[in-house]
A and B are shown apart, each in its own frame.
Chain A
Amino acid sequence: MQPAIVVKDLYFRYEEGDYVLKGVNLTVQEGEVVALMGSNGAGKTTLIKHFNGLLKPVKGSVKVKGLDTKERSVAELSKIVGLVFQNPDHQLFAETVEEELAFALRNFGYPEEVVRQRVEWALTLMDLRKYRSRSPLSLSGGERKRVAIASVLCYDPEIIVFDEPTIGQDYYQKQKIAQLLKMLSKQGKTVIVVTHDVEFVAENFNRVAVMANGQIIADGDVEEVLTDPKVIKEADLRPPQITECAWLLGDLGVPKRIVRVEELVEEVARLGGLSEDKGF
């Protein structure tokens, strides 16, 4: 099967200045859900802007479903790769939420009939039906974020890239976003999520790639990457709290590779000789 995204030895720099990306290699298979982490300035946003051709490689190549991004226009690639930007205020402009969602669909030249159906679908999906005729600019921060997400999901791209979807979202909305990711994954979409939220990654992802200084320094299972002290240090991350607990309990014999609450509970229960039949 053809991979969704293949980044090969990618170097990039803005007009003047040093390289921001220095030899990035990344392959994302179709249907995979990947978290992309790293401290500010590590090059995450620069990397995802290559996925729909907003930025073109200076050296190396980026292939999206076999298409070289150097040879395709942003409009062409955006049909395949939906990019949800961090700040919804950078894109909301229409008079109503409905119009906002229809914008991309009309740009891609879908017939009005399809536009209406897709908008309806996306409104329902993101729980926005009651705001359909409101101005997106009059909505609250969290709602605007949902409109921004819906405005990309509505044209049903095969690959969806989120830049910091959980920023400024309360616990409930974060759970909703986690659910959305699961749903997209079930539909067979390829999903890439840029985030700083290490707990969010630990709870909702299997694969994580970590960037530092314009390179991918680790890529693999969440259990492995987020519990590797070397990676944590190099990327200036903080391990998930559960992992930190596990490390502190290391002397008691708790293994170090733990990222989820249930796993730690199980281990602690095992240590204490507790099991379910003892009411644990």
Chain B
Amino acid sequence: MRIRVFEGFKFKRKDTYFYKLDPRVKLLFLAYSLFLTLYFSTFLPLLLLFLLSLVLVLLNRALKEWWGTLRMVFVLSAIIFLLNFFFSERGNKVNYASAMTLRFLTLTSFFSLFFLTTPPEELSDALVLLGIPYEYTFMFMMAMRFIPTLARDLQTIIDAQRSRGLELERGGIFKRVKRLIPLLVPLIVLEIRRSVVVAEALEARAFGASKRRTLTEEYGLRRAEYCFLAWTTILTVALIVLSRLPQTASIFGYRLPEIP
């Protein structure tokens, strides 16, 4: 039993375009792409958005890590598809269910792209620059920072309890749920203990002593960033305007052929 869900959210620095962008710009891009993904609800535009994210991932040579994340959400995607297929009231069920599934995958893809190319420190800096109080951004950063640690702890706990004869794969659903107790109790206790230690270490280093904090890194927007901002803004606005124009409505209202 190995845990891999979080691989896609782990940061590894590479020397490509996205990695070097200002985190604020990337954050805005994430906002644009999330807005677009939620704005469109038909298959074709969502497919375009998905492909856009894929192209960006490819350009930034992050395909392997990205694939790691996407692979993990396939089961969830299947569930989303089935639920929408069976319980939606809309006209074409295949059409609607596949669009919703694709929407979920596209969201995951954009999030993954963002987290793969943005170290948590930069994200926190970006939030500070946008005016969010440091305490909150710090909390957020710590939470991100501890995801891999948590995954590693859970792995060790699973190993330790299996060594004491805990069999996770066997038995009915109730027995399985009951078997989570030996895994969750140590995990929660361990993390609470750890957070107390972290809090003490922070206070020992005068956390919160000054209201205004300066950043070690200086952020300024370069030409490349203005260009990026320009084209993403134009693209976003254009897509929305296009979808509103009557003559293209048929293209963006594209539907899969009806099943007889």
Contacts and interface: CB of A to CB of B under 8 A. Distances in A.
A92 B185 CA distance: 8
Nearest to B159: A54
B2 A52 contact: no
Contact of A90 (B157, B165, B166, B181): B157
A69 interface: no
A82 B160 CA distance: 10
B186 interface: yes
Interface in A81-120: 82-83, 85, 87, 89-93, 103-104, 107-108
Contacts of A155: 165
A179 B206 CA distance: 45
Nearest to A81: B163
Nearest to A108: B165
B169 to A, nearest CB: 9
A79 interface: yes
A161 to B, nearest CB: 9
B156 interface: yes
Nearest to A163: B160
Nearest to A16: B64
A75 B165 contact: yes
Given A85-B156, A90-B160, A107 B190 contact: no
A83 B2 contact: no
B4 interface: yes
Interface range for A: 20 to 34
Contacts of B153: 90
Contacts of A103: 164, 166, 182
A90 B163 contact: no
A121 B189 CA distance: 28
B165 A85 contact: no
Contacts of B157: 90-91
Q: Which 6 A-B pairs have the closest CB atoms?
A: A107-B165, A93-B185, A104-B164, A91-B160, A83-B163, A85-B160
20 contacts: A52-B163, A54-B162, A75-B165, A83-B163, A85-B159, A85-B163, A89-B186, A89-B189, A89-B190, A90-B153, A90-B186, A91-B186, A92-B186, A103-B164, A103-B182, A104-B165, A107-B167, A151-B164, A152-B163, A155-B165
Interface of B: 2, 4, 153, 156-157, 159-167, 181-182, 185-186, 189-190, 193
Given A75-B162, A103-B182, 17 more contacts: A14-B2, A15-B2, A54-B159, A54-B163, A75-B167, A78-B165, A79-B165, A85-B163, A87-B156, A89-B186, A91-B186, A92-B186, A92-B189, A93-B185, A93-B189, A107-B164, A108-B165
Interface of A: 14-15, 49, 52, 54, 73-75, 78-79, 82-83, 85, 87, 89-93, 103-104, 107-108, 137, 151-152, 155
